[in-house]
Amino acid sequence: MTLIETVADLRAWRKTAGHVVFVPTMGALHEGHATLVREARQLAGKDARVAASIFVNPLQFGPNEDFDRYPRTLEADMAMCEAAGADMIFAPAVREVYHPDRSIKILETSLSNVLCGASRPGHFDGVCTVVAKLFNLVQPDEAVFGKKDYQQLAIIRRLVRDLDIPVVIHGIETVREPDGLAMSSRNRYLSPQERAEAPTLRQALLAAREAWLSGVTGTSRLLSLMRAHLAEHARLGREDYITLVDQQTLQPLDIARNHSLIALAVWFGKARLIDNIELSR
Active site (catalytic) residues: 33
Paired strand residues for 142 = 21, 168
Q: How far apart are CA 229 and CA 197, in angstroms?
A: 12
Q: What crossing angle do the helices spanning 200-213 and 219-233 adopt, rounded to 10°?
A: 150
What is the H or E stretch that residue 266 is in?
Answer: strand 260-268
Enumerate residues 6+ apart whose C-beta is below 8 A from 217: 255, 256, 257
Kindly report the number of other CB atoms within 10 A of residue 174's CB atom: 21
| Amino acid in position 44 | A
| Pairing relationship of beta strands 260-268 and 271-279 according to DSSP bridges | antiparallel
Check if the beta carbon of residue 35 is closer than 8 Å to that of residue 125. no
Q: How far apart are CA 162 and CA 128, in angstroms?
A: 12
| Pairing relationship of beta strands 20-25 and 2-4 according to DSSP bridges | unpaired
What is the H or E stretch that residue 150 is in?
Answer: helix 150-162
Cα end-to-end span (Å), the chain: 42
Check if the beta carbon of residue 24 is closer than 8 Å to that of residue 51. no
Q: Compute the radius of gyration of the chain from its Cα atoms.
A: 19
Strand, coil or helix: what is 148? Answer: coil
